[in-house]
Amino acid sequence: MRLEKIGKYDVVRVLGKGSTGKVYKAFDPIIDRFVALKVIPGEIVSQPEHLQRFKKEVKAQGRVLHPNVATIFDVDFYDGNYVIVMEYVEGRSLRDLMQAERILTLKLFYRIISQACAGLHCAHKQGVIHRDIKPENICLTSEGRVKILDFSIAKLQSSTTSTGLGFLLGSAYYMAPEQIQGLLITPAADQFALGVIAYEMLAGKRPFQGRNMADTILSATRQEPPLIGETNPMVDEELELIIRVALAKEPHRRYPSVARFSRALRDYFGKVSPAVLQEESPDD
């Protein structure tokens, strides 16, 4: 049966589905705008502690107002399900872009990574950690704007599944060592994920590879990635080092914040190739 309405919203189409539910493009007839609806089955947050954590997370993320973060407008309960009402972002995922281009130009690389840092820095200042930064959760609009998606879903996935396997399988390539090991998660975990993405955008491949998922996880926690310059001569030793700091195994060895990561890139390009600079990094 085709779903036509969710509460007051007119459903347009399904945008995607995952372990926590479906995402719909819908129309809000009262505000006269398109929105994205994340519909989460009520049983996923049926435990009181999960529900309390979920509501707390969504409330915190609703305060994250930044041009590079998809805004959460509202949370509703409809037909036994929780509905997160979010900004609808028209564009393509970073994953789609990387599959099409493989290795990005330095200018496009900086434009994307600096905006992602800006959005995450704003979230981190509000005490919100994404936990699932990956190319699929970064959207690029036709105007060149980066939008980070799915802040509210990552912790819900990791805290309401008995084994966390479904969450792990889709995200292990971008998870920080401390996240893989089940240790304390801080904003440094998001920085590590951005470091993986930065590496992938310039090398055309992920920094940690394995014959299977177990090998990949082991590589991320113990091994150093190959030099990007081996596959991309545009990446010199200094740029390589900047990205490797974000990929440090221990959180305290990474940059103090994603803002500092972005600033290191800005300072580098300002010295080596000023034409690359098109986006400002967030303030410390």
Angle at which helices 258-272 and 187-203 cross, to 10°:
30
Tokens at 42, concatenated: 């009520």
Residue 204 and residue 78: Cα distance in Å, rounded?
43
Residue 10 known to be catalytic: no
Per annotation, catalytic residue among 10, 96, 132, 283: 132
Residue 79's SS3 state is coil
Lay out the sheet containing 33-41: strands in order across: 5-6, 9-18, 21-28, 33-41, 81-87, 72-78
Q: How many CA atoms lie within 13 A of 196 on its CB side?
A: 27
Residue 159 and residue 182: Cα distance in Å, rounded?
11
Tokens at 202, concatenated: 């310039």
Residue 244 and residue 194: Cα distance in Å, rounded?
11
What residues are annotated to the active site?
132
